[in-house]
Structure 1
Amino acid sequence: MKYLTTTYYFDFEDTSIQKLIASCKDNSISNKEKAIAVYNKVRDDWKYDPYSISLSKENFRASVIAQKTSGNCVEKSILLIACLRALEIPARLHLGKVKNHIAVERLTEKFGSNELTPHGMVNVFLNEKWLKLSPAFNASLCRKFNVTPLEFDGENDSFLQQYNDNGSLFMEYTADYGHFEDVPLAFMKRNVKEHYPHIFDTDEDITEFKL
């Protein structure tokens, strides 16, 4: 299956990825248990950071992301996909657009909007069906904003925290760009320039910016 292969971006043969999945290689552990374990690891061991964005090709490699301590939603999704494929569990990238409703002051100041795009999540194939899951928001960040962390049970979708624990609207998906076999960097660059034109005052290729 094409969603099991190694690619330039999902370079799971790299030592850094192999170290991440070492504890899950036990054949006595089910694919469901392996998927839950690597999901929790990526969700919580890399802090969510939406403000440092690199669109250079190299920085979207799973092996490069693995060396960091934080990442945005797309980066963390790429890392999780690489881990899942390394464990022979089919996985692919899914992109969309989300609107945040809590703690959006800095987001609005930097991006000119409370919408984030492209927003990354993961599709994983378990028990003969594709599931959606998002490893973006680490548990400590969720607790800070009074939002229940997304748990993944290996059987149901786990990608949307619509409300916080007080019942206030937290986030919503406003567009779905579908799933991708590999990282669609050209599409992502066009998407960023279209939605945040004030950040770029030239037609030059986007590589990296920090907000």
Structure 2
Amino acid sequence: MPTDTPLLQPTRLLDFTAGSIQDLIDGRGWRDLDQHRRIGAAYDFVRNQIRFGYNRRDDIRASDVLADGYGQCNTKATLLMALLRGLDVPCRLHGFTIHKALQRGVVPEAVYALAPAEILHSWVEVRVDGRWVNLEGFILDADYLAALQTAFPDRQSLCGYGVGTDDLGTPQVAWRGGDTYIQRTGIARDLGLYDDPDTFYRDHRQAFGPLRDWLYSRLVRHWMNARVGQIRGGRVPSIPDLPAPHTVRRRSTPQPGASSSHET
């Protein structure tokens, strides 16, 4: 196991010395909290103030995720790690792949077949009282998760729409000092532990290929973000092999990073 020292260092992606991140930490008064509440403050911010959505790629700086105001598992993990290290909390990254079925419903059916069978995934592990705690439940913001709970009120096991859980009604997502999860049941392979996301992305890149990578960054992710916004607003599309979702329209602000030119 690596020592705690490298697990507190800034890196190119974990740029917690950036002015925007320092201003956030100072402005919220998080340095005045004890360790448990520091972790909770950073975790809750990333979970709900950085809404679920798809950035241009995985390996962007924490300050860029903060500026975007949205992220998915990998980019939100980068921001959470940067905030934790900026608060002197040791943390590391655990890399995985997930089955692409977990993204069905967010990935439009028209392009679902083009998605790779496995998608890069990660969660954050934080050192608390001499033990490692797994943090994955920060990926989906509360409004998005609530929309899925409303759409599937009688279902506990769900793998789709960005969720992988056997407890949809009461998932283990709130910070209470222990593990949190929201996509764990969709995991395909364990890629191991990394001191930082920089090293993880040097070893593992999403297997899109040049054309699919261009299509994702320029077109598909905007389409996906529009669907995320629609789901958050209560318009949950049907996907194969799942019962039709209940439709309850909710008031929702536009999803950052979405393009209004795509239809669902």
TM-score category by the smaller chain? Answer: 0.7 to 0.9
Q: 1:160 to 1:71 in 2, by over 3 A?
A: closer
Q: Which residue of structure 2 lines up, in the alignment, with residue 47 of structure 1?
A: 51
- Does structure 1 residue 24 correspond to structure 2 residue 35? no
Percent of aligned pairs with the same amino acid: 24
Q: 1:30 to 1:176 in 2, by over 3 A?
A: same
Q: 1:106 to 1:172 in 2, by over 3 A?
A: closer
**2:139–2:182 CA contact under 8 A, matched in 1:** no
Query: TM-score when scaled to structure 1?
Result: 0.77
Which segments of 5 or more consecutive residues in structure 2 lack a partner in the other structure? Answer: 150-167, 221-264
Q: Please give the per-residue CA displacement for 1:143-164, whole angstroms capped at 9, x wherever unaligned.
A: 010044611212x2112456xx
Higher radius of gyration, 1 or 2: 2
Deviation at 1:178, TM superposition (A): 1.5
Distance 1:173 1:103 in 2: 12
Equivalent residue of 2:204, what SS?
A: helix
Q: Please give the per-residue CA displacement for 1:119-155, whole angstroms capped at 9, x wherever unaligned.
A: 121111111011110221111110010044611212x
Equivalent residue of 2:139, what SS?
A: coil
- Does structure 1 residue 175 correspond to structure 2 residue 189? yes
Deviation at 1:21, TM superposition (A): 1.9
- Does structure 1 residue 123 correspond to structure 2 residue 139? no
Query: TM-score when scaled to structure 2?
Result: 0.63
Distance 2:49 2:83 in 1: 14
Letter in 1 for 2:188: T
Deviation at 1:99, TM superposition (A): 3.7
Letter in 1 for 2:31: K
- Does structure 1 residue 35 correspond to structure 2 residue 58? no
- Does structure 1 residue 187 correspond to structure 2 residue 203? yes
Q: Which has the higher strand share?
A: 1
Distance 1:39 1:105 in 2: 26
Q: 1:87 to 1:53 in 2, by over 3 A?
A: same
- Counterparts of 1:9-158 in structure 2, within 5 Å, are 9-22=13-26, 23-26=29-32, 29-50=33-54, 52-54=55-57, 60-99=60-99, 104-107=104-107, 109=109, 110-112=111-113, 117-134=119-136, 135-146=138-149, 147=168, 148=170, 150-154=173-177, 156-158=178-180
Which segments of 5 or more consecutive residues in structure 1 lack a partner in the other structure? Answer: 163-170
Letter in 2 for 1:123: E
State the structure with bigger RCO (CA 8 A, min sep 6), 1 or 2.
1
Q: 1:108 to 1:173 in 2, by over 3 A?
A: farther
